[in-house]
């Protein structure tokens, strides 16, 4: 994985609740729970999320699972701990984490986009496989695969009760369709409680791979995967340990 320092996950992690708060994930969480078979809401199941970020998606999963949330960014985990204080949080790299435990579900959401080399994807899938119990599920939800990617722009943001506010423009584009990466440029307007506004540009380089490569890498990790397109035209992979 090409090590990149994304300013928003480090210097500006405290602004995450105004960028991507839990209320933005209601429909996505419901879609994921349906794909997982929507377990009984007892919290008896266990789920490990690799690259859990600010915990916004996880906040909708905790009624159904006991969650272990991992991320490389201490700042993002601090945000998640505010949202999900009852959950276990660990600073960890999804490529190398080894907890010596297995879970009913291992989830890798859009953090997999930062696997910018095939070796990074393979290492992450190996981590997922070793932590998935027999009969469990590995769910990997990249924003796009090569076949579904389209350049696009998005915008949004939220205000806080203390007067702070955030607005952003997101621009996803592909400088070189012959390689395995795309660029996502963000322009942030950050307004503090005094009304002062700063402008921040943050560039993210993300991995983009063909669907067949994904399926091959799942197989190499000992996982039998199926691919499906969700309502947002994103490729979802659900996998189980091979032979089950």
Domain boundaries, the chain: 7-145+209-241, 152-207
Q: Which CATH number fits domain 7-145+209-241: 3.50.50.60, 3.40.50.300, 3.40.640.10, 3.40.50.150?
A: 3.40.50.150
Q: Which residue has the tokens 């490529």?
A: 95
Do 7-145+209-241 and 152-207 come out as alike in CATH topology? no
End-to-end C-alpha distance for the chain, whole angstroms = 31
Q: How many CB atoms within 10 Å of residue 100?
A: 6
pLDDT tens for 197-220 read 999 999 999 999 999 999 999 999
| Dist. CA 21–CA 122, nearest whole Å | 30
- pLDDT at residue 243, rounded to an integer: 67
| C-alpha–C-alpha distance, residues 26 and 63, integer Å | 13
The stretch 61-74 carries a mean pLDDT of 95
| Burial label, 21 (beta-carbon count in 10 A; 0-12, 13-18, 19+) | middle
pTM: 0.94
CA dihedral 7, 203, 21, 125 (to 10 degrees): -100
Three-class HEC string of 116-173: CCHHHHHHHHHHHHHCEEEEEEEEECCCCCCCCCCCEEEEECCECCCCCEEEEEEEEE
Tell me the per-residue pLDDT of 157-172, one tens digit each, with 9 for 90 and over: 999 999 999 999 999 9
At the top level of CATH, the class of 152-207 is mainly beta
Q: In Å, how far from its chain's centre is CA 57? A: 9
* 30 neighbors 22 (Cβ within 8 angstroms): no
pLDDT per residue as tens digits for the range 14-48:
999 999 999 999 999 999 999 998 776 666 799 99
Does residue 3 register a pLDDT over 70? no
Give residue-wise pLDDT tens across range 182-196.
999 999 999 999 999
């Amino acid at each position: 994985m090409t090590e990149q320092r994304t300013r928003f996950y480090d210097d500006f992690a405290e602004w995450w609740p105004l960028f991507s708060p839990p209320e933005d994930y209601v429909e996505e969480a419901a879609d994921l729970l349906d794909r997982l078979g929507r377990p009984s809401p007892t919290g008896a199941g266990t789920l490990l999320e690799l690259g859990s970020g600010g915990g916004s998606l996880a906040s909708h999963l905790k009624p159904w699972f006991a969650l272990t949330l991992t991320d490389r960014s201490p700042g993002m985990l601090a945000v998640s701990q505010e949202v999900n204080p009852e959950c276990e949080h660990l600073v960890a790299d999804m490529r190398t984490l080894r907890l010596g435990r297995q879970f009913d579900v291992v989830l890798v959401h859009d953090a997999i986009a930062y696997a910018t080399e095939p070796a990074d994807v393979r290492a992450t899938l190996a981590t997922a496989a070793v932590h998935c119990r027999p009969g469990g599920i590995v769910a990997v939800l990249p924003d796009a695969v090569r076949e579904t990617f389209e350049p696009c722009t998005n915008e949004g943001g939220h205000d806080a009760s203390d007067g702070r506010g955030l607005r952003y423009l997101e621009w996803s584009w592909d400088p070189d369709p012959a390689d395995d990466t795309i660029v996502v440029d963000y322009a942030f307007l950050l307004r503090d409680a005094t009304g002062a506004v700063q402008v921040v540009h943050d560039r993210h380089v993300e991995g983009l791979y063909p669907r067949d490569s994904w399926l091959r890498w799942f197989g190499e990790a000992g996982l039998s995967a199926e691919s499906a397109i969700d309502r947002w035209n994103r490729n979802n992979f659900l996998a189980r340990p091979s032979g089950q």
